[in-house]
């Protein structure tokens, strides 16, 4: 008889490209459930009990095929590298590697054959007396164009204090390469269709300057006296209103996390109407904030909004190292040496 306080299950989800997609779930003593599907090691569900049933705090789709039908990476595992690489050219060890591109001349989120496009091998694995979800994939250089092959495991752990711990473990098998994964998790904590009434706090004094292709210039800009100032808890709706004169009409931006916040809480999102919140802990120096400005009714079959997408339906909070980091000395170390193993963790702590 099991004495686990975390309950685990796995079930057939659907088929994609002639492969079975499996859904894995963990439920804690508070009836909080985390589910993931094997396509993209995607975070499918982070649901909490409510007076009327359950609420899923992350955006999802009913079918695995929906996930690759648009360029929004909904709550998917991202790698080898989160963010944009200029001209698809990766500087590494004095050489330049030409990567596959998937946004004009840019390589975005690992390129067209990144982690999110792979069907991962998943299983329930017991660790320290509790079940975890573990996804494994060996990403080949021949698949994605990055130097070297890389062996990757993504582990989901759910605690009884309602924290989801996401761990990335990677080993470079034969060459030096890069590893800067993230989760492209879209949160909507409330009972409304948008996040315009949410509040956000980010421990960042600076954000990245971009060129017109949303590529970092290498410069840091102060958040002070700008809509990017989330140092104190701030209305997302008001901040988005102050971004209406930008092409995006919202945020698709990268914050440089303060040094003293790394390995602590880097950001907190809250919905005042329901008193729900999620706090994010990360061991790295960047956070992407994307407020789903360009979500459309087409090709966005969201469960929350009955088969359409709407602008500002969620906010993606992507914890990672600053992007294109091998191009800029002060963006952080994303290099993983041949034979080396690197581990990164992102934690989501939910209160309700």
pLDDT tens digits, 321-340: 999 999 999 999 999 999 99
Does 80 share its domain with 124?
Answer: yes
Residue 174: CB atoms within 10 A of its CB come to 12
Return d(Cα 266, Cα 316) in angstroms, integer.
Answer: 14
Does 179 share its domain with 263?
Answer: no
User: How many domains, in total, are found in the chain?
Assistant: 2
pLDDT at 3 over 80: no
Does 65 share its domain with 200?
Answer: no
Return d(Cα 250, Cα 256) in angstroms, integer.
Answer: 18
Does 172 share its domain with 60?
Answer: yes
Return d(Cα 268, Cα 315) in angstroms, integer.
Answer: 12
Is there a domain that residue 271 lies in? yes
Is there a domain that residue 192 lies in? yes
Give the tokens for residue 235.
């209305």
Is there a domain that residue 36 lies in? yes
Is there a domain that residue 2 lies in? no
Full domain range(s) for residue 175: 7-185+336-351
Pick the catalytic residue from 109, 137, 184, 198: 184
Spatial contact of 47 and 56, defined as CB atoms under 8 Å apart: yes
Does 201 share its domain with 59?
Answer: no
Q: Which of 3-12, 32-41, 271-280 has the lowest mean pLDDT?
A: 3-12
Instruction: Tell the residue number behind the tokens 């990766």, with chain if given.
Output: 90
Whole-model pTM?
0.97
| Cα distance between the two ends of the chain | 31
Is there a domain that residue 194 lies in? yes
Does 179 share its domain with 192?
Answer: no
Residue 18: CB atoms within 10 A of its CB come to 5
Summary mean pLDDT of the chain: 97
pLDDT 10s digits, 48-57:
999 999 999 9
185 annotated to a ligand binding site = yes
pLDDT 10s digits, 234-268:
999 999 999 999 999 999 999 999 999 999 999 99
136 annotated to a ligand binding site = no
Does 34 share its domain with 173?
Answer: yes
Does 121 share its domain with 228?
Answer: no
Counting residues of the chain whose pLDDT is more than 90, the rounded percentage is 97
pLDDT 10s digits, 15-26:
999 999 999 999
Does 75 share its domain with 45?
Answer: yes
Is there a domain that residue 145 lies in? yes
- The H or E element spanning position 167 is strand 163-172
pLDDT 10s digits, 190-226:
999 999 999 999 999 999 999 999 999 999 999 999 9
Is there a domain that residue 1 lies in? no
Pick the catalytic residue from 45, 198, 318, 344: 318
Does 180 share its domain with 191?
Answer: no
Is there a domain that residue 249 lies in? yes
Does 28 share its domain with 144?
Answer: yes
Spatial contact of 161 and 147, defined as CB atoms under 8 Å apart: no
Name which of 192, 193, 194, 199 is nearest 235 in CA terms.
199
Residue 318 bears catalytic tag? yes
252 annotated to a ligand binding site = yes
CATH number of the domain residue 307 falls in: 2.70.98.10
Does 210 share its domain with 242?
Answer: yes
What would the mean pLDDT of 136-145 be, rounded to a whole number? 97
Return d(Cα 191, Cα 127) in angstroms, integer.
Answer: 35
What confidence tier does 1 reach under pLDDT thresholds 50, 70, 90? very low
Return d(Cα 192, Cα 32) in angstroms, integer.
Answer: 20
Peptide bond just before 80 cis, omega within 30 deg: yes
């Amino acid at each position: 008889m099991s004495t686990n306080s975390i309950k685990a299950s796995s079930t057939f989800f659907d088929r994609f490209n002639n492969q079975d997609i499996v859904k894995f779930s963990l439920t804690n003593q508070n009836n909080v459930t985390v589910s993931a599907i094997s396509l993209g090691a995607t975070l499918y569900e982070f649901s909490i009990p409510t007076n009327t049933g359950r609420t899923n705090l992350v955006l999802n789709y009913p079918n695995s095929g929906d996930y690759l039908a648009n360029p929004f990476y909904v709550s998917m595992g991202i790698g080898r590298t989160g963010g944009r690489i200029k001209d698809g050219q990766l500087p590494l060890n004095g050489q330049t590697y030409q990567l596959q591109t998937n946004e004009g001349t840019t390589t975005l989120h690992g390129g067209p054959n990144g982690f999110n496009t792979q069907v991962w091998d998943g299983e329930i694995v017991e660790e320290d007396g509790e079940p975890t979800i573990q996804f494994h994939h060996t990403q080949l250089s021949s698949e994605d164009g990055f130097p070297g092959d890389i062996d990757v495991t993504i582990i989901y752990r759910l605690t009884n204090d309602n924290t989801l711990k996401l761990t990335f473990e990677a080993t470079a098998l034969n060459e030096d390469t890069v590893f800067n994964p993230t989760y492209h998790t879209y949160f909507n904590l409330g009972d409304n269709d948008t996040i315009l009434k949410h509040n956000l706090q980010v421990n960042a004094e600076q954000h990245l300057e971009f060129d017109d292709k949303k590529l970092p210039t290498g410069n840091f800009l102060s958040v002070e006296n700008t809509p990017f100032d989330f140092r104190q808890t701030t209305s997302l709706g008001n901040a988005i209103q102050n971004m209406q004169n930008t092409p995006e009409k919202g945020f698709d931006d990268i914050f440089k996390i303060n040094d003293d916040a790394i390995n602590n809480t880097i950001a907190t999102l809250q919905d005042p109407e329901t008193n729900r919140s999620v706090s994010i802990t990360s061991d790295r120096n960047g956070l992407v904030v994307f407020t789903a400005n360009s979500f459309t009714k087409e090709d966005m079959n969201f469960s929350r909004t009955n088969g359409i997408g709407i602008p500002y339906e969620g906010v993606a909070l992507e914890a990672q190292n600053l992007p294109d980091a091998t191009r800029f000395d002060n963006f952080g170390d994303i290099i993983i040496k041949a034979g080396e193993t690197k581990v990164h963790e992102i934690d989501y702590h939910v209160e309700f």
